Amino acid sequence: MLKISNLQAKIGEKEILKGLNLEVKAGEVHAIMGPNGAGKSTLASVLAGRDTYEVTGGEVDFEGQDLLDLAPEERAALGVFLAFQYPVEIPGVSTTNFLKTAVNEMRKYRGEEAMDAVQFLKMFKEKMKIVNIDQSLLNRSLNEGFSGGEKKRNEIFQMAVLNPKLAILDETDSGLDIDALRIVAEGVNKLKSPDNATIVITHYQRLLDFIVPDFVHVLYKGRIVKSGTKELALELEERGYDWIKEELGETV
C-alpha cells in the first residue's frame, strides 16, 4: 500500500528526514517510536503534504501513485488520513459542518455523488458510537476550547467518518485518560480491516497493548534505525533508547 524509499526532507536549512525507508501493506498495523525530535511528526506531515517541509530526495508510493506529486487534499481523497499530534482550533466552523464539507469534497474528487443531510445524520450517529463522542462537542467550533483528550477523540471520530485507507495517528494517545485511551484504541481496532493500514506514532508501549502492532520501528535522527515485532516496544519501554544508539555506534 505504502512504500517510502530513501525519503529526505528539510525545513529551512535543517535536514530532518535523512533517507527513510518504510513499507506498509494493507491490513497491517505499524508502530513508530523514537525520541523527541527524531522526525516522527515530520514524517507524518510530509506524508500528508505539508508544504513547509521541502522534500529533497526519495520517493513515496501510495497504491501505485507518487504521493509526493499530489496536493494534501488529493492525498486525503485517495485515503490518506493524519490524526494530528496537535489538532488545530478552527473558530467559527463546527465539526459537523467541517466534516460535511470534507466528505463531499472528497466524494466529488472521486467522482461520487454528494451526500445529503439525512445521510450525514445517519452516518454521524453510527460513527459517534464508535468513539463515544457527544453531539454537543460536534456542534461546537472545531477543537476550539476542547480539552486535550477531546481533541484526540475528535480526530478519531473524523477518521471514522472519513474511513481512510491509510491512517497515521501521531501521538493520539498522549493526553488521554485511561478510559479514553481504551475507547480510542477500541475505535481504531473497530475501523481496522484487511483493506486498510494504520501507522501509530507513540512514546508509550501501553497503547500497543490495545492496538497491537504487526511491526514496531524506531525512528532516530531522521531514519528508521531498527524494526521488529511488538516485543521491541516492550524492550524500549524497559531500556530506553541508549542501547539503540550504542548499536549504531554512538557513544552514550
Partner 1 sequence: MNNTDLKTQLIADFRTAEGRMNGEAKSAVHQVRQQALERFDKLGFPTIRHEEWKYSNVKNLVNQAFDFNAVTNFSAKDLEEMPIPNLEGNILYFINGIYNTELSTIVSPMSELQILTFAEAAKTQPALVEQYFNKYSDYQDNAFTALNTAFAQNGVFVHVPDNKVVAQPIILRFISDARTLNVASQPRNLIVVGKRSEVQIAESFRSFGKNASFTNAVTEFVVGEEANVHYYKVQNESDKSYHIGTTSVLQAGKSVFTANTVTANGGFVRNNLNIKIDGEYAEANMFGLYIPNGKQHIDNHTAVDHAKPNSNSNELYKGILKGKSTGVFNGKIFVRQDAQKTNAFQSCKNVLLSEDASMNTKPQLEIWADDVKCSHGTTTGQLNDDALFYMQARGISKDSARALLTLAFAQDVIDKFEIVAIKEYLQALIEEKIYQG
Ligand X SMILES: Nc1ncnc2c1ncn2[C@@H]1O[C@H](COP(=O)(O)OP(=O)(O)OP(=O)(O)O)[C@@H](O)[C@H]1O
Nearest-angstrom CA–CA distance, 183 and 161 = 16
Q: Considering beta carbons, is residue 95 or 198 the nearer one to ligand X? A: 198
Cell 501507522 locates to 199
Number of residues engaging ligand X in binding (CB under 6 A):
13
193 binds partner 1 (CB under 8 A): no
Q: Which stretch binds partner 1 (CB under 8 A): 27-35, 55-63, 98-106, 129-137?
A: 98-106
Among 162, 166, 185, 207, binds partner 1 (CB under 8 A): 162
Which residue blocks in 110-165 are alpha helix, DSSP H?
Answer: 117-131, 135-139, 148-162
Q: Strand 141-142 and strand 65-66: pairing? A: unpaired
Nearest-angstrom CA–CA distance, 209 and 216 = 13
Give the shortest CB-219-to-ligand X separation in angstroms.
7
Cell of 117: 443531510
Per CB under 8 A, which of residues 22..61 are in contact with partner 1? 48-50, 52
The enclosing H or E element of 98 equals helix 95-109
Note the residues at the interface with Mg ion (CB under 5 A).
40-41, 85
Q: For binding to partner 1 (CB under 8 A), which residues are involved?
A: 48-50, 52, 71-73, 75-77, 81-82, 84, 87-93, 98-99, 101-103, 105-106, 109, 141, 158, 162
